[in-house]
Amino acid sequence: MSDSNSGQAAPGWYPTTPGSSQLRWWDGTQWTEHYQALGAAPVSVQAAPAGTRPGTVWIWIFVLVPLLEFAELPLLASVYPTILSATLSTSTSLSASQVLLGPGYFALLGIGFAIYAVYVVAAALDYRALKARGVPAPFHWAWTFLSSIVYIIGRTVVVRRRTGAGLAPLWVYLGASAIRIIATMVVVLPIVGAAVNSAVNSAG
Checking if the pLDDT of 166 tops 60, the result is yes
Return the higher-pLDDT residue of 109 and 42.
Answer: 109
pLDDT at 126: 97
Please report, for the chain, the start and end positions of each structural domain, with discontinuous segments joined by +: 6-37, 57-203
Other CB atoms within 10 A of residue 107 CB: 16
Cβ neighbours for 94, distance < 8 A, ≥ 6 positions apart: 82, 85, 86
31/96: higher pLDDT? 31
pTM: 0.67
pLDDT in tens, 50-87: 778 999 999 999 999 988 888 777 777 776 666 666 55
The rounded distance, in Å, linking the Cα atoms of 198 and 101 is 23
Q: What is the pLDDT of residues 113-143, one digit of tens each?
A: 999 999 999 999 999 999 998 888 899 999 9
3-state secondary structure of 30: coil
Q: Find the Cα–Cα–Cα–Cα dihedral 98, 100, 101, 105, rounded to 10°.
A: 140
